[in-house]
Each structure stands twice: as structure tokens, then as C-alpha cells.
A = this chain, B = another copy of it.
Amino acid sequence: MLSKKTQYALKALGYLAGKYGQGPVLISEISIEKKIPIKFLETILLELKQANILESKKGKGGGYYIAENPKKISLARAIRVVGGPIALLPCVSLNFYEKCLDCDEATCGLNKAMALTRDATLKILEKKTLAELIDG
């Protein structure tokens, strides 16, 4: 299951994708439209900015906007930034790998099965982009 935080992030990104090219969008606007607690949303957007998915402008007329064409940003990338690993086990994670303590990966059936599901999941999440989160 994706965490609430990750779900909020994806909803916010979908909203911003729909406004791509139209200048900065207020945190408060996203918060109201997408029903996300504003203070929580602040921290999420900041993380996405630090990962170069979003950019921001301070002061009057400021707000957040997507840093590059939404079609160039995959869901996998966004999920990793706010939600961590996509794989079901650390020993099959590409970006957050940790070795299994008590099994040999070459012969572990569980490892094989989970590596397959990781591949299947990534095939979709690397392909889908923020542009496909736009409403309607």
C-alpha cells in the first residue's frame, strides 16, 4: 500500500500537471481542491522540489509548478521520492537494496518471485507519467 503521503503527492502532482505552463499554483489552492491538510502538503511539495520534480516561487504571485514537461516524469520517480521503495522486499529493490541476512539470493525462491513482481510493476510505473494523472 502507498502511504497517505504518497497518495497526496500523486494527487497534488496530477493537479499541477493539469496546470502545467500556467504559472505558479498556490499551496492553499491545491490543498482545497485536493482535500489535503495544508501543512502536510507543504512538506510534501518541498520534498518534491528538492528532488527537482517541482519548482517554486516565493512572495506574491508565487506558488509551485512542475519543473519539466509532465510527460517526462514517471510515476515511479515520484513515488520513490516521497514513498521510498517500490519493490516488495529490500533484497529485490533497485534503489533501496539491502542484502538478505539468511538466504542466498541465487537460490531463494521468494527472491525470484518478488523480483518478477518488481519488474512487472516497474514496467508500468516507469511508463506512466504525471500527464496521465490529469483529471477527466
Contact = CB atoms under 8 A, between A and B. Distances in A.
A35 interface: yes
Given A113-B128, A136-B107, A85 B1 contact: yes
21 contacts: A1-B85, A1-B87, A1-B90, A2-B88, A2-B89, A11-B110, A35-B101, A103-B135, A107-B135, A107-B136, A108-B135, A109-B132, A109-B134, A109-B135, A113-B124, A113-B128, A113-B132, A117-B120, A117-B121, A120-B121, A120-B123
Interface of A: 1-2, 7, 10-11, 14, 34-35, 75, 84-85, 87-90, 101-103, 107-110, 112-113, 116-117, 120-121, 123-125, 128, 132-136
